[in-house]
Structure 1
C-alpha cells in the first residue's frame, strides 16, 4: 500500500517477489480472515487491534518500498488487492453486525465493479494499468480509518459517541473520494484509448 499521496512511479516495476514490502502486504492479506473471525465472535478489542496493525502496515510497506528501493510489479498488484479485500470483508462484517448500513457496502462494491469493467476494457484496448492516483489512495486511507472508529462507536458512553462522529466523517469522505477517483480513472482510461486509436 503506502501513504495516500503515493503514486505509481514511471517505468516498469522490477519483477521481484521476496521483498520486505511484499511480505508486509501478504501479511495484511492473512489478517483479513483473522479480523473477520474476531469481529463476528464479538472480540472487538482484538478486532480493533488487527485493524490497527493493518492500517499501520498500509503506511509501512509504501515507505519501505521507496526507502529500500524495493518496488516490484507484484507489490503494485498485491498492495491495492490487499486494500480492497480488507475494505470489502470489513464492510461485510460490519454490515452483518448492523454497525454500518447496506448502502455503504453497495457504494464501495459498485465502485470497484465499475473499475474492474474499466480495467477489462483497457486490457482489450492494450492499455496498461493506470497509475495509482492520490485521490484513490486518500479515499482508501479514509475508509481504513473509518472502520475501527465505527466499530469503537458500538461502545456506550462518550468514547463511543465521539468515535461514531469521527468514524462517519471518515466514511463519508472515503466514499466521496473513492468515487471521485473512479471518475478520474475513467477520464484517464478513455483518454488513453482515444490516443492509442489516433496513433493507430
Structure 2
C-alpha cells in the first residue's frame, strides 16, 4: 500500500476506498450495538448494558489496531469510527440522564461540542476536502467517557463497590469532557489549516 506525504513532511498511511474490511466490519458491529445498549440501559438491565459497552470498547480498540497494523485504513472506516463513538456517548448520556444518574447540564456540555464539530462540515464540503483523521486526543476523550459511564452505573447504590466506583467514574467524566472539547478545538484547527492550504493551492493554480 502506498503512503502519502503531508506538507509537514510526515509520512502518513494511505487511505483506501475499501468497504469490506475487518476494521469496517467491527465498526459496523459497534453501530448495531447502539440501540441494543440504549434499550438495556433504559430498561435498567445494567449488567447486560455494561457487557455491551465493554464489548464496544474492545472492538473500538481492535478495529484501529488492525487497520494500522495491516494497512486497512479506509475512508469508510474514518467515517464509521467517530460516528459509532458519538452514538455510544449520546445514547449513554441520554439513558443516564433519564435515570437521573448524571445531570442534564453534562449532556448539554458534551452535545454542544458535537454541534460545534458538525458546524465545521460545510467548510470541508465547500472545498471538497476529506474528513480529518481522528486524533489521539479524541480517542483518549472517548476512552475516558466510555469508562466513566459504566463506573457511574456501578456507583448507583450504597454498597462499598458503589462508593468506590462513583468518584472514579466522575474523575473519568471530567477528564473525558475536558479532552472532548480539546479534541474539538484541535479538529477545528485541522479543518482551518486544510481550508487555508486548499485556498492557497487554488490561488496559485492558473
Task: Normalising by structure 1, report the TM-score.
Answer: 0.89
| Counterpart for residue 62 of structure 1 | 64
* Structure 1 segments of 4+ aligned residues over 3 angstroms from their partners: none
* Partner Cα distance (2:197, 2:69) in 1: 35
Paired residues of 2:123 and 2:195 also in contact (CA < 8 A): no
Consecutive unaligned residues of structure 1, counting only runs of 5 or more, are: 1-8
- CA positional deviation for 1:12: 4.6
Measured in 2, the distance between the counterparts of 1:140 and 1:116 equals: 17
The equivalent of 2:93 in structure 1 is 91
Matched, 1:160 2:162: yes
Shift of 1:185: 1.7
Counterpart in 2 of 1:110? 112
Rounded Cα–Cα distance in structure 1 between residues aligned with 2:24 and 2:143: 19
Kindly state the Cα deviation for residue 197 of structure 1 after the two structures are TM-superposed: 2.7
- 2:174 is aligned to 172
For 1:11 and 1:120, the matched residues in 2 are separated by 26
Q: CA RMSD in A?
A: 1.6
Q: Distance in 2 between matches of 1:197 and 1:69?
A: 30
1:30 and 1:82 mapped to 2: Cα distance? 9
Deviation at 1:49, TM superposition (A): 1.0
| 1:150 aligned partner | 152
Instruction: Write the mapping of 1:1-200 to structure 2, written as runs, cut at 5 A.
Output: 10=12, 12-199=14-201, 200=203
**TM-score of the aligned structures, taking structure 2 as reference length:** 0.87
Cα-to-partner distance string for 1:107-155 (whole Å, 9 max, x where unaligned): 1111111111112222213332223222111111111111111111113
What runs of 5+ residues in structure 2 fail to find an aligned partner? 1-10
Q: Which structure carries more relative contact order (alpha carbon 8 Å, separation 6+)?
A: 1
- Residue 11 of structure 1: CA displacement? 5.6
For the Cα contact (< 8 Å) 2:23–2:66, is it kept in 1?
Answer: yes
Question: How far, CA to CA, are the matches of 1:173 and 1:63 in structure 2?
Answer: 24
Q: Aligned equivalents of 2:37 and 2:59: distance in 1? A: 15
